[in-house]
Structure 1
């Protein structure tokens, strides 16, 4: 049975891509899941927490340089790529600003799921996501203002509270359950990745379906820009970690953290603060799908390849 679950999990890119195509053809099919996006991620985080022990986090505490490297890469490499790609492709103002906004946001919680599926360092990934979100309170508006030409306010308290609810609390509860009920952790381990795959596919399809018309109208230029942004981020994050001399699992973790953004935050900020130019939110919607597709493809490859 475990082998069967592993086979389904290894097909992660296929399930996500199929759900995305389906949502474009029939947008209303998956939009029902939109209210369940945050609870869905919380359930995934709880499942991952159950597979983690206190010792895992103690080991991460001995690697402060890896956490710092990931956060630095997040807020140096990604904003640069967002600005450079927009300039190089001469994107329209709305799309260029939207791409920069995506690039200046912190790492997304979905990265923790992809790291989990890739069999990289989940505890390190969770810590990096929390740290990048904390510093994003100041850096996201600062970098967006500098690169996009105007200031984008961030609800720092609300963002932090959401991170605590979506990531920290479920993972902490999961770790406690792991400690109190080790047999439960052993039972969850085979099915955890498959549950993650299903939820991520539903999230991507729901986001894309809700914005299908704008996505279809945006054309290949924006799609190419978003794909290029995330591809460059995954690659540069990996090689940045390699240059610093980190092992394979840390390289994969940093690569995924840099490549996967909190696109939902970017979309929300664009909707709220760029209401006069609604297409500014489109890069965030496409990003939410593409970073999951690219990340899931990497996760599937690395999962099969092993260490």
Structure 2
């Protein structure tokens, strides 16, 4: 039952976004909840991990290194170029770059499972990029938008450390100690993460309700294009380098799906509510595109197995 509810995440995100767009006054007062909710999401990620998960990095260093390089090169660069092409405002440019500069999102692990990709590898990639984002995200943001707006890179670094590393570490320690009690609750923690990100998206839509109605279609196209290029780039670059299809699918999902919740929080904390909007919309879109892609790949896998 919990898995079924979780698998409909894109639907819940869309429905709640419509609800908060029509009733912004119901969520604006929860603005202060955004940071605690992100911390909860990171804790839920940590509590499903064990130290043994990190040993996978030693088993597949090439594919993980490639994924991280693609993640932190393609996504911020494409975000910047697309923003300039669509002539987005400075605030939206910052939001787009933040989405590109953060780590892979935990939703990628769910999509990897649905797409019949390598889930263990996906989790490892997410953890590695999440930990690297503490150092990388602030300075990539500085590189791309530092000439446009002031970027407090060092402050961002400490914020990401507190928002990402500490909750993940605490969750991991708790899982190591109480593994046999927590193992059966992994689905519950996944659902808790989904509820949290849906609520974060709803708050951002509510805060930006007036601006959303006046935004051009160009922002929606920019966000969709950003995600699609990440997915295609991750898949075909990996394929050109000779990796198998299962690994290519895993990398594509990891590169194209971002920790947009973190992008939202950083935008709200250091820039503006409008800068948080690309992250909120990306959260909805990348789960829809990821679910569609997972459905296609899963069907292909079934047909392939049936033909053998």
> TM-score range with shorter-chain normalisation?
0.7 to 0.9
User: 2:280 maps to what in 1?
Assistant: 289
Secondary structure of the 1:194 match is: helix
Question: Residues of 1 paired with 2:200 and 2:73: CA distance?
Answer: 28
Q: C-alpha displacement at 1:87, in angstroms?
A: 4.3
Checking the alignment, whether the CA contact within 8 Å between 2:94 and 2:145 is kept in structure 1 is no
Checking the alignment, whether the CA contact within 8 Å between 1:27 and 1:209 is kept in structure 2 is yes
Checking the alignment, whether the CA contact within 8 Å between 1:105 and 1:266 is kept in structure 2 is no
CA separation of 1:138 and 1:193: change in aligned 2, threshold 3 A: closer
Checking the alignment, whether the CA contact within 8 Å between 1:256 and 1:295 is kept in structure 2 is no
Aligned pairs, how many?
286
What is the TM-score with the length of structure 1 in the denominator?
0.79
Higher deviation after alignment, 51-60 or 296-305 = 296-305
Is it true that 1:223 corresponds to 2:220 in the alignment?
yes
User: 1:211 maps to what in 2?
Assistant: 208
Question: Residues of 1 paired with 2:174 and 2:96: CA distance?
Answer: 40
CA separation of 1:21 and 1:163: change in aligned 2, threshold 3 A: same
CA separation of 1:239 and 1:34: change in aligned 2, threshold 3 A: farther
User: 1:263 maps to what in 2?
Assistant: 263
Higher deviation after alignment, 120-129 or 75-84 = 75-84
Question: Residues of 1 paired with 2:48 and 2:92: CA distance?
Answer: 40
User: Deviations for 1:190-239, whole angstroms, at most 9, x for unmatched residues?
Assistant: 31222121111101011111111112112222222222222322332333
CA separation of 1:169 and 1:246: change in aligned 2, threshold 3 A: farther
Q: C-alpha displacement at 1:55, in angstroms?
A: 1.0
User: Could you tell me which of 62, 66, 75 is aligned with 2:63?
Assistant: 66
User: 2:82 maps to what in 1?
Assistant: 85
Checking the alignment, whether the CA contact within 8 Å between 2:230 and 2:252 is kept in structure 1 is no
CA separation of 1:94 and 1:187: change in aligned 2, threshold 3 A: same
Checking the alignment, whether the CA contact within 8 Å between 2:31 and 2:203 is kept in structure 1 is yes
Q: C-alpha displacement at 1:258, in angstroms?
A: 4.4
Checking the alignment, whether the CA contact within 8 Å between 1:82 and 1:99 is kept in structure 2 is no
Question: Residues of 1 paired with 2:139 and 2:78: CA distance?
Answer: 20
User: Could you tell me which of 108, 112, 120 is aligned with 1:115?
Assistant: 108
CA separation of 1:230 and 1:270: change in aligned 2, threshold 3 A: farther
Is it true that 1:135 corresponds to 2:136 in the alignment?
yes
Higher deviation after alignment, 61-70 or 47-56 = 61-70
Higher deviation after alignment, 96-105 or 114-123 = 96-105
Question: Residues of 2 paired with 1:214 and 1:137: CA distance?
Answer: 27
Unaligned runs of 5+ in 2: 114-118, 302-308
CA separation of 1:12 and 1:249: change in aligned 2, threshold 3 A: farther
After superposition, residues 1-307 of structure 1 pair within 5 angstroms as: 4-89=1-86, 91=87, 93-94=89-90, 97-98=93-94, 101-102=97-98, 105-107=101-103, 111-112=105-106, 114-118=107-111, 119=113, 120=119, 121-145=122-146, 149-150=147-148, 152-156=150-154, 158-244=155-241, 245=243, 248=246, 251-252=249-250, 255-260=253-258, 261=260, 262-264=262-264, 265-266=266-267, 268-271=269-272, 282=274, 284-298=275-289, 300=291, 302=294, 305=298
Unaligned runs of 5+ in 1: 272-280
Question: Residues of 2 paired with 1:246 and 1:266: CA distance?
Answer: 37
Question: Residues of 2 paired with 1:122 and 1:44: CA distance?
Answer: 14
CA RMSD between the two structures:
3.0
CA separation of 1:171 and 1:219: change in aligned 2, threshold 3 A: same
